[in-house]
Structure 1
Amino acid sequence: MVQQRMGRIQWGDLQFGPGSRYHVTAVTGLDDMPDIRAEDINRPDQHGDYTSPDTTGARIIQLGLGLRGDTPDDLRALTLALRAATQPQRQPAPLRFLDQDTLLYGKVRQRALPYDAENLWSTGTAALELYCADPYLYSLEEHTASTSEYSPAAGRTYPLVYVGAGRTYGDAGTSGRLTAVNSGASPAYPVLRIDGPVANPSIEQVTTGGSITLDATLQPGEYLIIDTRTRAILLMGTSPRRTWLRAGSQWPLLQPGSNVIAYRGSALPGAPGQSSLLTVTWRDTSL
């Protein structure tokens, strides 16, 4: 259950908050709005401005910690563990607010571990600053929904349930449609997986618009990963196939609330009784 108190925070192998030796004393930037980037310009000879759509910059998270050891040596071990876990990073890493149902991706940009000779015995303090280039707040749970393609000539269904890539995929939808619910307050960027066999697959965001069509053929056993955030299209999850995207396609997003996704494609000759599957994966998303 989501709660108002900050609760537990997970960074790498370290956990801060209740049940740990690292007490959370302060958090800033989590519920704050990141800085707005705007391109407003003055209206010549008129009051007011012409305003552009607002977008946000990076999110900055600051954590205040209280270290609680049993002895000075114990405190030193806590300090060294925190120092080791907050080294400069090549890529952002998950920062999980476990009791807030919130996930971010950040890099540690500042770390303060002061030494107070007058008071230092078994307690100390620390301050961390994390830079989140992606300002979105994601749910901890990753949602999935799947459906077979709508192919009038084949009229097939796909009742398969399988496990792959560490996720469990549920029952397929009907008539080439599925419903994806984004319980956040901002649009979510889904990851789309198409499993063959299928020719010229098409994915449409029925609720609000946006669709993509691929001039491609996937044989049985082949699959395609489409990341709507990075706009990568990867055959078998690794080989770029962006050139398969048909001109005029618009990348579908999951708006807050319920979203109906339609999946269409053509059956392949020589693959009777087999069906293609679309799996949509997303997290609830807010700013």
Structure 2
Amino acid sequence: MNAPVLEDWQLDLGGVLLGHNTSIPFAEIEGLGRPDGRGDLTDQPGADGVWAAPDWYSERKIHIDCAAKTPGDPAAARALVEQLQAAADPPGVRTVGGAVMPLRIKWPGAPVKVLFGRVRKVDPEWAKAAFGWVPLDVEFAATDPWFYGDTEQQISLRLGWLSGGGFTAPVQAPIRVSSGESGGQRRPGWVTNQGNVETWPVITVYGPCANPKITQVETGRTLKAQVSLDEGQWLRIDTRPGRRHVVRDNGGNVLLTPDSDLGAFSIPPGRTEVRWTASDPTATCRLTVAWRDAYRSL
């Protein structure tokens, strides 16, 4: 199902629209600023001041003060509440560890951005339901504090594609080296995070190949899997916080080499070059990198 198009001052929670020009207007939204942190301030013995422990962000708690508004039609108000409660309980999220759902937000002057988390409360007040007015207390806990782009981006790389330039065959004197940027098109391997904070990719390797190694050229960070994939088989490396895992198409786990660090393979703001190698005598395997732009704020 396609996500609904959002106007300014609107939210999308599981396909139900809230906010301006909807039947569920909101009076206030809290939690869109700096998320809560985890870190203690400890008194310094025999000295003024305190010692600040490392600060880590906790979940981002979104509180939405809204109401189902259908003047003179209490049945329609009840139906809206039912839709919102159903949207807050999608199959495959509530009872699956690590699973999350999106909360899409459109603010003036900015593209649609997304938070990922769980709905913690949909609490209606029925005192004025006979007039078609049902106040709602809605809470959403984003497990990741960053805002993300509404669209997932993806690149696909065949084995042996280089992101640099090279020679154009047939080679004849004088030899000229290509810049690798013909026609203004992006060369293979460029991952561009248009946000202002790091983001986390999902990498999928499609066989046939063995022992794939993925490298960020600028940082030298690598991920190498000890696995052999036949044609039609795949390996997925998910680096996203709270969902970090490496799994095969058959559900089996895969070992990474000791120098591979899922927690360090983030994509910084701007452009990052990704290359990969593997053993494949057929040269038919491929790799995809999927990511979303990441933002500190709306």
State which of 11, 23, 26 in structure 2 corresponds to 1:24.
26
Aligned residue runs from structure 1 range 237-252, under 5 A: 238-241=251-254, 243=255, 245-251=256-262, 252=265
Distance 1:151 1:44, change over 3 A: farther
Which of 187-196 and 129-138 deviates more?
Answer: 129-138
| Match in the other structure for 1:223 | 234
When the two structures are superposed, what TM-score results if normalisation uses the length of structure 1?
A: 0.76
| Match in the other structure for 1:147 | 157
- Unmatched 5+ residue regions in structure 1? 153-172
CA–CA distance in structure 2, aligned partners of residues 137 and 266 of structure 1: 38
Which of 45-54 and 201-210 deviates more?
Answer: 45-54
Distance 1:9 1:197, change over 3 A: same
- Unmatched 5+ residue regions in structure 2? 1-6, 163-185
Aligned residue runs from structure 1 range 249-264, under 5 A: 249-251=260-262, 252-264=265-277
Distance 1:151 1:246, change over 3 A: farther
Distance 1:112 1:43, change over 3 A: same
CA–CA distance in structure 2, aligned partners of residues 210 and 42 of structure 1: 39
SS in 2 for 1:207: coil
SS in 2 for 1:22: coil
Q: 1:209 aligned to 2:209?
A: no
Q: Cα deviations across residues 118-172 of structure 1 (Å, max 9, x unaligned)?
A: x9623342221112222222111000012223389xxxxxxxxxxxxxxxxxxxx
SS in 1 for 2:84: helix
Q: Cα deviations across residues 221-272 of structure 1 (Å, max 9, x unaligned)?
A: 222111112332112263221x2x112223321011111112122333xx3x
Q: What amino acid maps onto 2:221 in structure 1?
A: G
When the two structures are superposed, what TM-score results if normalisation uses the length of structure 2?
A: 0.73
Q: Cα deviations across residues 161-192 of structure 1 (Å, max 9, x unaligned)?
A: xxxxxxxxxxxx86xx6111112222111000
Does the CA-based 8 Å contact 1:179-1:258 persist in structure 2? yes
State which of 239, 249, 264 in structure 2 corresponds to 1:236.
249
| Match in the other structure for 2:148 | 138
Deviation at 1:203, TM superposition (A): 0.6
CA RMSD of aligned residues (A): 3.0
Does the CA-based 8 Å contact 1:179-1:260 persist in structure 2? yes
Identity of aligned residues (%): 26
Q: 1:63 aligned to 2:72?
A: no
CA–CA distance in structure 1, aligned partners of residues 244 and 86 of structure 2: 35
Distance 1:73 1:24, change over 3 A: same
CA–CA distance in structure 2, aligned partners of residues 140 and 116 of structure 1: 37
Does the CA-based 8 Å contact 1:205-1:253 persist in structure 2? no
State which of 185, 190, 194 in structure 2 corresponds to 1:179.
190
Q: 1:93 aligned to 2:101?
A: yes
Q: How many residues align?
A: 254
Distance 1:151 1:23, change over 3 A: closer
